[in-house]
Amino acid sequence: TNTLIDLSQKTDGSQDRAAFAKDVAEGLSQRPKKLSSRYFYDANGSRLFQQIMSLPEYYLTRAEYSLLQQHRAAMVEAFAAGGFFHLVDLGAGDAMKTKLLLGELTKKGKDFDYVPLDISGAAMRELSRDLQQTYPEIYVQAVVAEYITGLQWLGQHLPKRKVVLFLGSNIGNFERQEGQKFIRQIRQHLQPGDLFLLGVDLTKDPATILAAYNDASGVTAAFNLNLLERINRELGGNFDLDAFSHFPLYDPQEGVMHSFLVSEREQEVYLEATQARYTFAAWEAIHTESSHKYTLQQATDMGRTAGFEFVTSYLDEKGGFADMLFKA
Ligand code: AVI
């Protein structure tokens, strides 16, 4: 029967709230101002992100889904070549894409267990229940943890060969150096012969990228603004959501999509949690997210620099998204 391991070590959420307040206070006191995109994903933000993934402009999810459909047979053979393995899914969420691999592995009778890891306890409980229904034959050990805590846990508790998935271009939300550091940390928790599959959004027509973060229906704007709503709710803030607007900007030389929230007038915001006021000049912006795009060469180099051997890259038919396979 499936198990759930909770390493998030919060009993009443107070620690989390204190860390959130500290990060927000620091970010709003800096010039230029910034807030971290890791705080996008409260219940509301996670729901909005689900909506983003089915927007016509947001090609990323569809591209990766279709490349998994196309290449799943080859991937599954590569994963299972060494016999039993733990399939580790970093930031699993609802595992919509991973289910394609789970289906293929089951169909081919491969010997593995599944270890989805996510910071959302609700998502992991739901996924565990869902898989119990759809794939009762798969042993699922869901882990609720931050990435780093989770990686330490896997190093210690999963004795067999590991295949680690980090899909969905989640690497893109790290600054490049931080992303490189994170891939190195993954490598350090693996043993020679373990595999790593990394999902990267590739550089492409800047207009296509910009549109993906500036959808006509305004879901991405709501997703960005939800950060201020969350601050109001959890930190006792008084942000006027009508006085801020979503502004996306793609830098084609750096290959990075930036999202901002722009203050449409001079204003002041008070946070109960910090008992402090933060002032905004008219048109002053808060940087809220970076989504880095990679060339195939950059993505290959990132894996190699982290100490992996490059095995192969699986692309979607448009060549806009890649799942890169590396070997420890
Ligand atoms: C989760 N992450 C990979 C998304 C991205 O594309 O950077 C988050 C997102 N932000 C706006 N739209 C989607």
- The proportion of the chain whose per-residue pLDDT surpasses 70, expressed as a percent, equals 98
Residue nearest to atom 7 of ligand 1 (CA): 291
Predicted confidence band at 1 (pLDDT cuts at 50, 70, 90)?
Answer: confident
Q: Nearest residue CA, atom 5 of ligand 1?
A: 291
Residue 302 has pLDDT above 70, yes or no: yes
> pLDDT (tens digit, 9 = 90+) per residue, 115-160?
999 988 888 999 999 999 999 999 999 999 989 899 999 989 999 9
Q: For residue range 271-295, what is the model confidence (pLDDT) as tens digits?
A: 999 999 999 999 999 999 999 999 9
214 lines ligand 1 (CB under 6 A): no
Length of the chain: 328
**Strand (E) or helix (H) holding 210:** helix 206-212
pLDDT band at 10 (very low <50, low <70, confident <90, very high): low
**Nearest CA, atom 1, ligand 1:** 170
162 within 8 A of 88, measured Cβ to Cβ: yes
% pLDDT > 90, the chain: 92
Query: Which of 70, 96, 146 shows the shortest CA–CA distance to 321?
Result: 70
CA angle 202, 207, 209 (to 5 degrees): 35
Residue 305 CA, ligand 1 centroid: distance in Å: 25
Whether the complex's predicted ipTM surpasses the cut of 0.90: yes
Which residues 6+ apart lie within 8 Å of 231 measured at CB? Answer: 24, 237, 239, 271
Give pTM, 2 decimals: 0.95
Give residue-wise pLDDT tens across range 165-187: 999 999 999 999 999 999 999 99
Distance 291 CA to ligand 1 centre (A): 7
- Tell me if 60 CB under 6 Å of ligand 1: yes
The DSSP annotation for 118-161 comes to ES-HHHHHHHHHHHHHH-TTS-BEEEES-HHHHHHHHHHH--S-
DSSP for 97-124?
THHHHHHHHHHTT--EEEEEEES-HHHH
Q: For residue 258, name the pLDDT band (cuts at 50, 70, 90).
A: very high
Q: Report the atom number in ligand 1 closest to the C-alpha of 170.
A: 3
pLDDT at 212 > cutoff 80:
yes
Q: How far, in Å, from the CA of 287 to the mean position of ligand 1?
A: 14
Quick check: CB of 300 below 6 Å from ligand 1?
A: no
pLDDT tens readout for residues 34-68: 999 999 988 899 889 999 999 999 999 999 999 99
pLDDT at 11: 53
Q: Is 226 in the pocket of ligand 1 (CB under 6 A)?
A: no
What pLDDT, on the 0 to 100 scale, is given for residue 74? 98
Give the strand pairing for 112-118 and 321-327. Answer: unpaired
pLDDT, residue 280, reads 98
Q: Is the pLDDT of residue 9 over 90?
A: no
For a pocket test of ligand 1, which of 38, 49, 55, 260 has the largest count of ligand atoms closer than 8 A to its C-beta?
49
Give the confidence band of 12 by pLDDT, cuts at 50, 70, 90: low
Instruction: Give the orientation angle of helix 59-80 with respect to helix 98-107, to 10 degrees.
Output: 30
Contact 280, 29 (CB under 8 A): no
Ligand 1 centroid–CA 279 distance in Å is 28
- N-terminal to C-terminal alpha carbon distance within the chain: 30
Cα atoms in the Cβ-side hemisphere of radius 13 Å centred on 291: 22
Q: How far apart are CA 183 and CA 145, in angstroms?
A: 17
52 lines ligand 1 (CB under 6 A): yes
One-letter amino acid at 199 equals G
Query: Residue 256 — very low, low, confident or very high, per pLDDT cuts 50/70/90?
Result: very high
Question: Separation of 13 CA from ligand 1 center, angstroms?
Answer: 25
User: Ligand 1 atom 2: the closest Cα is on which residue?
Assistant: 170
Q: Is there a contact between 210 and 257 (Cβ–Cβ < 8 Å)?
A: yes
What is the three-class DSSP state of 49? helix
Among 289, 293, 321, say which to mutate for ligand 1: greatest number of ligand atoms within 8 Å of CB.
289
CA distances from 63 to 20, 70, 102 (A): 33, 11, 18
Check if the beta carbon of residue 278 is closer than 8 Å to that of residue 269. yes
- Measured distance CA(222)–CA(219) in Å, rounded: 5
Closest residue by Cα to atom 6, ligand 1, is: 291
| Residue with CA at minimum distance from ligand 1 atom 3 | 170
